Structure 1
Amino acid sequence: MKELATRHIFLIRHQRPNVSKSGFFNQQQASQFLKNYDICTIEQLVNKPAGLPYEHVTQVFCSTLPRAKQTAQAIFGNEVSLIADPVFNEFPRQIFPVPFLKFPIKFWLYGARVLWLLGLNNQDLEPFHQARQRARKAAQKLAQQADKDGKVVLVAHGFLNFFVRRALRKMGWQVVRQDGSGFLGVTELVKK
């Protein structure tokens, strides 16, 4: 019986978006920040992540958001084929109402995420349980492609990548590299 070659999946978080987080934001400014975050360009890439199979990559999966697509092109160049799919988009969030007060943007972003996770800030948004199902679907898509190609790369987002990694581990994939969840962080998973 022929043994299957080891398959690899690389999950990469996008590069830092070119948007300022400094200062204090009221509710309206924080909402505008989120809109800007989703459409802005990324900061220039100084170093590419190490340890990626650059010579074997002909296609890269990514979310449809500009920061993921721009990061994929900055890392792998225009020669690779980008497969942008909304299944790889970041989990949604929206700013919650706190009128008249100003806070650092991290307060708004973490607060929005926690309230969304608890189901208290998800009006007109994909609920958490559906987002987790989408991450499982994304993991299955990557695993199926790895069965065909041996090596698969996804450039997406921190929260989405976390739940994709979790779903892949439940499918028997093992994490062999985890650079953290920061910008350009790489997680590599393998399966024989």
Structure 2
Amino acid sequence: MDSGRKQQIFLIRHARPLVDRRGWFSKTQAQQFLQDYQVAEVEEILSPQLPPVLPPVKKVYCSPLPRAMATAHMLFGPEAELVVDPVFREFESSIWGLPMGRFPLSWWQVPSRVLWFLGLHQKGMESFRKAKVRAALAAEQLAQEAGAKGVAVLVAHGFVNEFIKRALVKKQWEVLVNGGRGYVGVTQLGRE
């Protein structure tokens, strides 16, 4: 690659999954929601809002979860080569709490995620520490692609994209556009 050309990485979050989060959930219903979310289809993206600086790409890295693969196909077309790799899957999640009462979904999800971050709720799933290591490996894979081709594109998920971004920033990548964690949000990073 020409050393004067800027390397770029684009991290794209999947489109909105077609699951209903409204209402009040028992613990069992909240657990079922997480299972449904893992296999949910996504809303059709009527007018993709990819940044104009994104060059045409033929190769797109992707999480193996259906919502990420469907989003990648909608954004880049069926002719794009999807490189599906479990290293890009979302951080695991489960529901913590006593099976009493019905509450909004966030009442179940937020404490569960906070406890997982603290290492107190991770039985039977990948720990937060291991998930961060996986995100760093994913960042290295994308950086190698950007080094070889000038650009790397990933369609994945909110948490994993955030921690990939953090790993890249530690390796001197600059955040040029922070798309946040909204659906179809695009974060662009660059390096000379």
Q: TM-score, normalised by structure 1?
A: 0.96
Q: Is the alpha carbon distance of 1:87 and 1:167 closer, same or farther for their aligned partners in structure 2, counting shifts above 3 Å? A: same
8 Å Cα contact 1:11/1:161 also seen in 2: yes
SS at match of 2:69: helix
Give structure 2 stretches of 5+ with no counterpart: none
Task: Report the CA distance between 1:51 and its aligned residue.
Answer: 1.2
Partner of 1:85: 85
Partner of 1:132: 132
For the aligned residues, what is the CA RMSD? 1.3
Partner of 1:112: 112
- The alignment status of 1:35 with 2:41, answered yes or no, reads no
Partner of 2:3: 3
Task: Report the CA distance between 1:54 and its aligned residue.
Answer: 5.8
For 2:180, give the aligned amino acid.
G
137-146 or 100-109: bigger deviation: 100-109
For 2:172, give the aligned amino acid.
G
For 1:131, give the aligned amino acid.
A
8 Å Cα contact 2:15/2:184 also seen in 1: yes
Partner of 1:171: 171
Task: Report the CA distance between 1:50 and its aligned residue.
Answer: 2.8
**Partners of 2:171 and 2:109 in 1: how far apart?**
31
Q: Is the alpha carbon distance of 1:60 and 1:146 closer, same or farther for their aligned partners in structure 2, counting shifts above 3 Å? A: same
Q: Is the alpha carbon distance of 1:174 and 1:40 closer, same or farther for their aligned partners in structure 2, counting shifts above 3 Å? A: same
- Identical positions, percent: 43
Task: Report the CA distance between 1:3 and its aligned residue.
Answer: 3.4
Partner of 2:20: 20
Q: How does 1:138-157 map to 2 (within 5 A)?
A: 138-157=138-157
Give structure 1 stretches of 5+ with no counterpart: none
Aligned pair count reads 191
Task: Report the CA distance between 1:52 and its aligned residue.
Answer: 5.0
Q: Is the alpha carbon distance of 1:19 and 1:43 closer, same or farther for their aligned partners in structure 2, counting shifts above 3 Å? A: same
SS at match of 1:56: coil
**Partners of 2:108 and 2:46 in 1: how far apart?**
29
For 2:118, give the aligned amino acid.
L
**Partners of 1:141 and 1:61 in 2: how far apart?**
10
Task: Report the CA distance between 1:118 and its aligned residue.
Answer: 1.1
For 1:19, give the aligned amino acid.
V
- The structure 1 segments of at least 4 consecutive aligned residues displaced by more than 3 Å after TM superposition are 52-55
SS at match of 2:137: helix
Q: Is the alpha carbon distance of 1:191 and 1:66 closer, same or farther for their aligned partners in structure 2, counting shifts above 3 Å? A: same
**Partners of 1:130 and 1:182 in 2: how far apart?**
25
Q: TM-score, normalised by structure 2?
A: 0.96
Task: Report the CA distance between 1:49 and its aligned residue.
Answer: 2.0
Partner of 1:182: 182
Partner of 2:72: 72
**Partners of 2:113 and 2:46 in 1: how far apart?**
30
Partner of 1:101: 101
8 Å Cα contact 2:97/2:108 also seen in 1: no
